Amino acid sequence: MRLSLLLLVSRWLLGAVAGAQTLPQVDTLAEARRLRDARDFAGAAAMLAPYVESHPDDAGSARFAALMAYWSRDFRSARAIYEQAFARHPTSADVRVEYARFLMDLGQTSRARELLTPLVETGDRSTPATRRALALLGTLDYWSGDYSRARSRFVEVLRLDSTDADARRQLREIELASASWLGVGMSASDDDQPLRRLALDAEGGWFATPVTPLSLRVRSTGLDNDGVNERLSLVEGSVATYWPAARLDLGLGGGALQRSFGDASDWTGRITLGFRLPKGTVLEGKAERAAYLNTASSLETAVMTNTLQASAKWSHGGWLGEAVARRESFEDDNAVATGYLWLLAPVVRRETGTLQIGYSFAAQSATESRFVPRDNAVPFPPGQPPATVPGVYDPYYTPRNLRASSALLAATLRPNPRLSFTGNGAYGFHARDDAPVLVTVFVPPNVSVARTYYDRDFTPWNVGGGVEGAVTDAVHLSVTAEHGRAAYYQYTTAGVRLTYTFFAAARRRADRY
């Protein structure tokens, strides 16, 4: 009897001890969930940390602990937990996918891709984890600009699971970004040379792939030089594409133009090659042949330019910048070299608007001057000839040792997602060049005209603005205007453009999967 009582008490004590050992395990997870539901993510993470250490085989609890650390913004602890869980459970698809998602949110996309690729290549596509890995790889492709591969991955995900909202949203964004379009526009300009222009153009485009647009543009420009009217018509096609693996952009364009003056027929061409670097940096080289129409004299003599240009563009965190080196060669063996850079810094960054201030510097000089007497026959009154002779750049502008520093201002206001207002301005607080002047040289009995230069200070400036809005979902309208003073003339420009994008067809393509 005494022995039976002793055995009964021993069993009760063992059960109590076992219950005491298992109860904290259940309570720890339940309390962590309660803290999570109360949005005390740091508290939940602190409670789960020792539990995970004492239960190395529990992959689910490790994922829970890592997520709580992440939500409490303790990224270092979250990564350490994920790394440890992945080392202990390398075959766990859920650990692999959740760790990759965490790395993507931190911007560590290369490591995330390394985790996801083996699962997509060897995993069972019918399992939720593999489908999620496929969708995440599609997101990485989308972020890197590889829209073609991203599109194919999202299509496959939706064929496996049509309820995946993220995959469908991103597929729709790709289809909308690569929708065909038609546009018409009109622009006008007036300067005090005097030279006035009125241009009408129409353009259409279609995407052969999500990264390969093809376009065709027709443009007719009327020009007026103090009553002398001329016209230039241009038909031009272009194609562009992007190779994500090499980070290379390629653009090709070419066309035919017809003038009412000079050599009636001519051709244009363009090739651009760009290389995308991290953090919004793009290096680009361009070669282009185009018509020159920037002076009144270019309406009498047909002028073509052959341009070589190298540029570096930067856009990151609200900062914008560009540096350009350019050489424009003309058919008379002359050239104009240009270099400039500008930088805009963010002052205000909100969804409803931005404000940026910045600085720019420009330098420009021609090999030879084309500043000549305005009249071929210079009239001299009887007696002493005039000290100076009126001149003009003929047939194109040729600066000499131009240097200009300017303050910049740019602002954007978006009262709603369908409407935006933009404004910008520049003020040249220090600008100087070697300005040409034509003087008469009187050596009896002959009088000749000579070109000389003087140091000139001038103040270039410009102010512009625009309104862009969605008239309907598919119709977009933009209006722009600018007024300013350049190195040798004052100008005013204005333009309006209406674009129709085939969004309905793009949505149907996205929603058919």
Give one DSSP letter per residue of 51-65, joined into a string: HHHH-TT-HHHHHHH
Q: Are 210 and 155 in contact (CB under 8 A)?
A: no
Work out the angle at residue 386's Cα, subtended by the Cα atoms of residues 385 and 388, and round it to the nearest 5 degrees: 135
Q: Is the pLDDT of residue 357 over 50?
A: yes
Q: Which residues are within 8 A (CB) of 88 and not within 5 positions of it... i.e. 6 or more apart?
A: 56, 57, 59, 62
Could you tell me which of 322, 298, 293, 296 has the C-alpha nearest to residue 310? 322
pLDDT band at 12 (very low <50, low <70, confident <90, very high): very low
Tell me the mean pLDDT in the region 270-290.
96
Q: Is the pLDDT of residue 22 over 50?
A: no
**Under the phi-then-psi rule, with left for phi > 0, alpha for psi from -120 to 50, and beta for the rest, what region is 401?**
left
- Residue 379 is predicted with a pLDDT of 66
Give the whole-angstrom CA distance, residue 513 versus residue 503. 17
pLDDT band at 383 (very low <50, low <70, confident <90, very high): low
Place of tokens 């750049």: 393
Amino acid at 98: E
Tell me the mean pLDDT in the region 13-29.
49
pLDDT band at 75 (very low <50, low <70, confident <90, very high): very high
- Residue 381 is predicted with a pLDDT of 64
Give the whole-angstrom CA distance, residue 147 versus residue 175. 9
Select the more confidently predicted residue: 477 or 381. Answer: 477
Q: Is the pTM of this model over 0.75?
A: yes
**Under the phi-then-psi rule, with left for phi > 0, alpha for psi from -120 to 50, and beta for the rest, what region is 392?**
beta
Per-residue model confidence as pLDDT tens digits over 236-276 = 999 999 999 899 999 999 999 999 988 889 999 999 999 99
Tell me the mean pLDDT in the region 308-313.
98
- Residue 471 is predicted with a pLDDT of 94
Per-residue model confidence as pLDDT tens digits over 34-59 = 999 999 999 999 999 999 999 988 99
Per-residue model confidence as pLDDT tens digits over 198-228 = 999 999 999 999 999 999 999 999 999 988 8
- Domains in the chain, CATH or no CATH each: 2-176 (1.25.40.10), 184-372+399-429+458-511 (2.40.160)
- Residue 384 is predicted with a pLDDT of 65
Query: Which two three-digit tokens encode residue 22?
Result: 């298992």
Select the more confidently predicted residue: 440 or 199. Answer: 199
- Residue 388 is predicted with a pLDDT of 83
Could you tell me which of 361, 346, 348, 339 has the C-alpha nearest to residue 407? 361
Q: Is the pLDDT of residue 293 over 70?
A: yes
Alpha carbon dihedral 496, 497, 498, 499, in 10-degree steps, equals -160
Between the alpha carbon of residue 440 and those of residues 378, 394, 398, 400, the distances in Å are 10, 19, 21, 21
3-state secondary structure of 337: strand
Between the alpha carbon of residue 253 and those of residues 210, 283, 309, 436, the distances in Å are 19, 19, 16, 37
